[in-house]
Amino acid sequence: MKRLYIAAVAVFFTIAAGAQTIDRSQKPKAGPAPVIKIADPAKFILPNGMTVLVVENHKLPKISASLGTNRGLILEGDKAGVLSLMGNMLNEGTQSLSKEQFDEKVEMMGATVSLNSGGGYVSALNRYFEQSLLLMADALKNPAFKQENFEKLKSQDITGLKTQEKNAKAISSRVVRALSYGKNTAAGEFRTIEKTEAITLDDVKAAYQQYLSPANSILTFVGDITPAKAKELALKAFGTWKGKKLPIAKDVPVPNPAKTEIDLIDVPSAVQSEITVGNLISNPYSNPDHHALALANHILGGGAESKLFMNLREKHGFTYGSYSNVGADRYQSMFSAGASVRNDKVDSAVAEIIREIDHMREGKITAEELATAKAVYNGIFAMRMENPQTTASYASTILIHQLPADFYRTYLQKINAVTIADIKRVAQKYFNTDGARIIVVGKAAAVKPGLEKLGYPVKMFDAYANPVSESATPAASVNQNMTSQQVIDKYIAAIGGKEALSKVNTLSCDVSMSIGGQTLSGTMKNAAPNKSFLVLSTAGMTVVKRVFNGQKGYQEQMGQRMEMGPDEIAMGTDTRGIFPQLFYNTEGFKLSAPVAEKIDGEEAYKIVVTKPSGNTATEYYSANTGLLIKEESIVKAAGQEIEQAMEYGGYTAVKGIKLPGTMAQSVMGQRMEFVLSDYKINEGVADKDFE
């Protein structure tokens, strides 16, 4: 009996243990936030002062090591760019291996070795790790520093800076920092072509001596390695490297403006403006508000479900995306919110961004917004932990910023404890709409009137953050009494006269452009009244082809063919002849009265042309030469309206008719320059070209 009883109990117990009760009708409750288990890495210091961290992870037979220098912010002054050049030079061979030999050795092992101005990174299978690490150490300790490699890198840097000169996004990222921190501070300074040209190989060598030292460096091993083995390898690779302790600059806080101001940077070719609303903040990792601030930023502008995106993109369609950012550093960092917006919506977009920031400050935050932000943080944080490099970067952040060892282990618990009241409090403290800068990089003539209505002072700056004062008086070449027909007549006379132009029935030319080191070349053909053909190819492959026969057309991109839609056909049929200006003020073309405006320093007459379809384009004719120098239009494609600008230059005479030798197209933040050559008039173009 007793036995039976025990057996019965055992059976009962087993069943109970097996049959967990669940309620399928709703989503199961989440368990408690996972405790992030981040093992403290082994840590030791080599005799030369190098700190070594070892994150053991024996899952895979792979080891990586990264070397970084804890040296804080560095003011480069008139040598701005020298550090980056120095880092690149470390990848250009050692005293015993040419760059080619070095790269070949690395590839043979299937390893990765790269160097930068603060150290480098190496990753390899266990059995190749020592060799790979020694190669990285060789590159760091015994760089070749050859003049010819230096010249190559320097010219690449200059080419890079040149391609960015008119790029509104690049200008924006430069001036936002320069205006906020001051252009002569370590955080606000920037590279220029002039400064880069002045850098010498000796400057690079001096920077190498000055800014690298084992005494400030942290070497982090991650992977299938023990601390003892790591110590042995670290000594072997870097034990002989010597250097004294580098000073770390102190934070010198810069005040925000006393009252919110608009800083406007004129980029006349920009069809979109870059808007940044922001202020400097003090948010070291040890800041007790760190976690609430991270969530506040997510609710405002961290993702596609955040306030800024929902408002500026989903509700108003001002932009493809609007986001915000909160920096975290031992030095002053920035809170910023922004978007790229088409010119006619800039003032509205600024107002909406400020409205959303104010909503944060007023505590207009729903429980769902906060819960979603927390969930996203929990998810991203957890998934990031899968990569052992994350553990390593957390360990060095703890070291550099002198944080408690459990900083990341308690991260999610702190995130999950944040309340709506906390969000409101930190928004008020850090999101400063009373003393912010609203930095707009765009076409001043188009955006300034709207911005002035917002009630903030508008200050003008150039692309390098220097204040500019506007000259109110137009240049002598501008005649305020010109009519639109006179501007057009002057243009027609300037390029060859009505009689010569009327005889042109077809026009063709060669087109070429270089982009990222590749050259695209092709042909452009036009025939009256409105047939057009353009093909561009590279290395035997057609990149883009666009054909319009007067009634219909198509575009092919990388082999994909798309028929023109009604909007594109309307644009095609808006053209009359090779020189549509001959038909202006007739055949449904209406012109606005000319307005004087400066285009890239040149006085011009601006005329808005309303075409037969009702579409408009804005054309700029030089007051001095009479030539067409720019046209702006709105292109409709795939349901989107995209602003584009074309600039013309390098006019040369072909059979008595002046035609542009260059054409620069700006669209969606990109600028492409084309060279037009080998024009042919009334020859080599047939109707079948447009089929």
Partner 1 sequence: MKKIGIGFFLLTGMLPALAQKVKFTEFDLSNGMRVVLHEDHTAPIVVTSVMYHVGSKDEVPGHTGMAHFFEHLLFEGSKNIKKGEFMKIVSQNGGQNNANTTQDRTYYYEVFPSNQLETGLWLESERLMHPVINEDGVKTQNEVVKEEKRLRIDNQPYGNLIYSVFSRLFTKHPYRWPVIGSMEDLDNTKLPDFLAFNKKYYAPDNAVLVVAGDIDPVKTKKLVEAYFGPIPKSGDIKRVNVTEDPITTELIDTVYDANIQIPAIVAAYRTPGMKSRDALALDMASQILSGGASSRMYKKMVDQKKNALQVAAFNYTLEDYGAYLTFALPNGEHNLDSLLKDMDEEVAGLQTALISEAEFTKLQNQAENDYVSGNNTMMGIAESLAKGYTFHNNTNYLNTELDLIKSITRQDIQDVAKKYLNKNQRVVLYYLPVRKEAAK
The contact set with partner 1 (CB under 8 A) reads 17-22, 24-37, 57-62, 108-110, 125-127, 224, 371-372, 375-386, 388, 539-542, 556, 558-561
CA distances 247 to 70, 85, 363, Å, are: 10, 21, 43
Sign of CA dihedral 299, 303, 309, 310: negative
- What is the separation of C-alpha 437 from the centre of its chain, rounded to a whole number of angstroms? 20
Rounded to whole angstroms, the Cα distance separating 562 from 70 reads: 54
On whether the CB atoms of residues 556 and 534 are closer than 8 A, the answer is: no
* 6: enclosing H helix or E strand: helix 2-18
CB of 316 to partner 1, least distance (A): 24
User: In sequence order, what are the residues at sequence separation of 6 or more whose Cβ sits closer than 8 angstroms to the Cβ of residue 30?
Assistant: none
Rounded to whole angstroms, the Cα distance separating 190 from 80 reads: 6
CB of 18 to partner 1, least distance (A): 6
CB of 267 to partner 1, least distance (A): 37
Cα 206-211-213 angle, rounded to 5 deg:
115
Pair of tokens at residue 610: 């309303």
Pair of tokens at residue 124: 């390899």
- What is the separation of C-alpha 41 from the centre of its chain, rounded to a whole number of angstroms? 35
User: In sequence order, what are the residues at sequence separation of 6 or more whose Cβ sits closer than 8 angstroms to the Cβ of residue 250?
Assistant: none
Rounded to whole angstroms, the Cα distance separating 504 from 405 reads: 78
Estimate the crossing angle of helix 367-384 against helix 290-301, to 10 degrees: 110
Rounded to whole angstroms, the Cα distance separating 493 from 627 reads: 9
**CA nearest neighbour of 505 among 658, 686, 675:** 686
| Residue 110 DSSP class | T
Alpha-carbon dihedral 397, 333, 209, 134, rounded to 10 degrees: 30
10 Å CB burial of residue 193 (0-12, 13-18, 19+) is middle
Backbone dihedral region for residue 540 (phi beyond 0: left; psi -120 to 50: alpha; all else: beta): left
3-state secondary structure (DSSP) of residue 368: helix
10 Å CB burial of residue 205 (0-12, 13-18, 19+) is middle
Pair of tokens at residue 140: 């760091």
Backbone dihedral region for residue 590 (phi beyond 0: left; psi -120 to 50: alpha; all else: beta): beta
**CA nearest neighbour of 522 among 547, 505, 542:** 542
CB of 230 to partner 1, least distance (A): 18
**DSSP string covering 159-195:** HHHHHTTT-HHHHHHHHHHHHHH-TTSTTT----HHH
On whether the CB atoms of residues 75 and 189 are closer than 8 A, the answer is: yes
CB of 121 to partner 1, least distance (A): 16
Residue type at position 207: A
Cα 623-624-629 angle, rounded to 5 deg:
65
On whether the CB atoms of residues 534 and 604 are closer than 8 A, the answer is: no
Number of Cβ atoms within 10 Å of the Cβ of 678: 10
CB of 12 to partner 1, least distance (A): 16
Which stretches of 164-271 are DSSP H helices?
168-181, 193-198, 201-211, 227-238
